[in-house]
Amino acid sequence: MSAITPTVAEHAARRRTVAVISHPDAGKSTLTEALLLHARAITEAGAVHGKRGRQGTVSDWMSMEKERGISISSAAIQFAYGDTIINLVDTPGHSDFSEDTYRVLSAVDAAIMLVDAAKGLETQTMKLFEVCRRRGIPIITMINKWDRPGRAALDLMDEIRDRTGMLPTPLTWPVGDPGHFEGLLDVPSGRMLRFTRSDGGARVAEWQTLEPAEAEASSGAAWVSARDESELLGLDGYRHDSETFQLGITTPVIFGAAVHNIGVHSLLEILADEAPAAMPRIDVDGEARPVDADFSAYVFKVQSGLDTAHRDRIAFIRVCSGRFERGMTVTHARTGRPFATKYAHQLFGQDREVVDEAFPGDIVGLVNATMLRPGDTLHSGPGVQFPALPVFTPEHFRLVRAVDVSKHKQFRSGLESLDQEGVVQVLRSTRRGDQSPVLGAVGPLQFEVFADRMQHDFNAPVKFEPLPYEAVMRTDEASAEALDRQRECEVVRRADGVLLALLSTPWRAKMIARTDPDLTLEPLDDGA
């Protein structure tokens, strides 16, 4: 270690800011525990994530999360692995998720696609993958649960290639079929990593490195078939290449079993050696802001009522350039007003650690940040603004009303806050008025979260009425009135001013387009 203080660029070069994308139950929480365990951030797995019956939590902030044993809010965990600093940004693991899930992905530079060996690519993995692909971020694939019976490894490679369009390039290859896992072939060195299972994953698995001849002597046919398959893949061009990985054309693949801490070391090595460091962020003018420019960051998520002990509003920022120092006063780009960063935290479960400084790639929670909204830029020095966060197409709709009409003030302020946070989209129209706007969501669980927050954080209990819409298109002022008169169609306005036509079915949209071709009905581009 040099005695010279590292520069901002050197700090940025050490950062890897990543998220795990997976379908519920693929093993994300288990993997998170295992990663932390390897990085020696905790001593015993199980101390971090609080599913029902397990101790401690990272992200069980809301009581609803505790009751259901799922994580709704997202946390970021920072840990060191050698010289590398990894910022692991958590994405909610339930199949009903919100815009917030997508927004989190705007804050990462790479993703880990975690796949259950028996199930292959599942729906939520694919949805999240699409978001990563649109952003062009590199993806590392980990095939998990290889200790259990599952699909053939070659089969899974075909599925990844066919469904994601990325070429899978194995860096390790399993020795033994799923369920009869003996170890891993380390593709670059051709050696075998033989594992001794740890006790239920509570400790880091021990492994031995065997030369090919030793591997063949100890694992026989399983080794030979692993070696042959791996060689075949190599000959077919399934070979890891840093450049194509960084471009999102290929995805390095590793096999493992998070619950036994197998494969986790390989994952950390890839993160450290191959995942991109904190990258310059592109501003609204299309300019890349160098990481060593003056401090800048943007808000990718806002959350209030995180837990009852600290009832407040936290804005999570991702540092894009410069050095963040707690207490510094920065400029809030949207209003041009100063913003004092007196209360800055890193969240590690319910424990908040005060952050004194942070660098590009880091995630910081700013407490009591009432003026900050998702997408806002903070900076010091001359002005800079990062692009707005993408808005996603809602798929579920409800009409909402206050249970107690005398609480209209609380109702209004709750609607505004939760719309800004991205808990739901509030869609307004003259037809519905202010008393009962339409809510739009990507997943129906968002309505429950909304109702819970309205009641507990804003003291405005709500009731819902179903709406018969399953399709949404973009329209314009010229077509709005005529469309609103159509059967099974209603026009509403989103907070950003965009006019949406809600329709009973996609067929209804086609019918209208046929009978009234002059009316504007366009697919809603759901952000990038």
- Kindly calculate the radius of gyration of the chain based on its CA atoms and give it in whole angstroms: 25
Quick one: 198 or 479, whose CB is closer to ligand GDP? Answer: 198
Q: Is 345 in the site for ligand GDP (CB under 6 A)?
A: no
Q: Is 408 annotated as a binding residue?
A: no
428 has which bridge partners?
493
Measured from the CB of residue 69, what is the shortest distance to ligand GDP in angstroms? 9
Strand ranges in 39-121 using DSSP code E only, listed in sequence order:
76-81, 84-89, 110-116
Q: Is 93 annotated as a binding residue?
A: yes
Site residues (CB under 6 A) for ligand GDP, limited to 30-59: 30, 51
Quick one: 57 or 380, whose CB is closer to ligand GDP? Answer: 57
Measured from the CB of residue 66, what is the shortest distance to ligand GDP in angstroms? 15
The alpha carbon of 170 is separated from its chain's Cα centroid by a whole number of angstroms, namely: 24
Measured from the CB of residue 61, what is the shortest distance to ligand GDP in angstroms? 16
Binding mask 74-93 for ligand GDP (x = CB under 6 A): -------------------x
Among 10, 25, 177, 294, binds ligand GDP (CB under 6 A): 25
Task: Answer yes or no: are the C-beta atoms of 492 and 483 closer than 8 Å.
Answer: no
Quick one: 257 or 278, whose CB is closer to ligand GDP? Answer: 257
Name the DSSP letter for residue 211.
-
Measured from the CB of residue 60, what is the shortest distance to ligand GDP in angstroms? 12
Of 27-35, 420-428, 460-468, 516-524, the segment contacting ligand GDP by CB under 6 A is: 27-35
Measured from the CB of residue 23, what is the shortest distance to ligand GDP in angstroms? 7
Task: Collect contacts of 201-204 with beta carbons under 8 A, ≥24 apart.
Answer: 201/30, 201/33, 201/34, 201/45, 201/258, 201/259, 201/260, 201/261, 202/44, 202/45, 202/46, 203/37, 203/44, 203/45, 203/261, 204/37, 204/38, 204/261, 204/264, 204/265
Measured from the CB of residue 519, what is the shortest distance to ligand GDP in angstroms? 44
Q: What is the DSSP string of 299-328?
A: EEEEEE---STT-SEEEEEEEEES-EETT-
Site residues (CB under 6 A) for ligand GDP, limited to 219-258: 257-258
**Structure token pair of residue 477:** 């002022």
Among 14, 16, 28, 289, binds ligand GDP (CB under 6 A): 28
Quick one: 245 or 255, whose CB is closer to ligand GDP? Answer: 255
Q: Is 53 annotated as a binding residue?
A: no
Site residues (CB under 6 A) for ligand GDP, limited to 250-309: 257-259
Cβ–Cβ contacts within 10 Å for residue 270, how many?
22
Coil, strand, or helix at residue 520?
coil
Quick one: 179 or 327, whose CB is closer to ligand GDP? Answer: 179
Do the bridges between strand 296-304 and strand 250-255 make them parallel or antiparallel, or are there none, so unpaired?
A: unpaired
Q: Is 203 in the site for ligand GDP (CB under 6 A)?
A: no
Quick one: 27 or 374, whose CB is closer to ligand GDP? Answer: 27
The H or E element that residue 354 is part of is strand 351-354
| Dihedral angle over CA of 162, 137, 100, 528, nearest 10 | -80
Q: Is 96 in the site for ligand GDP (CB under 6 A)?
A: no
Do the bridges between strand 250-255 and strand 139-144 make them parallel or antiparallel, or are there none, so unpaired?
A: parallel
Measured from the CB of residue 81, what is the shortest distance to ligand GDP in angstroms? 20
Task: Answer yes or no: are the C-beta atoms of 248 and 164 closer than 8 Å.
Answer: no
Q: Is 313 in the site for ligand GDP (CB under 6 A)?
A: no
Site residues (CB under 6 A) for ligand GDP, limited to 137-156: 144-145, 147-148
Which residues participate in the annotated binding site? 90-94
Which residues participate in the annotated binding site for GTP? 90-94
Catalog residues that contact ligand GDP under the rule CB under 6 A: 22, 24-30, 51, 93, 144-145, 147-148, 257-259
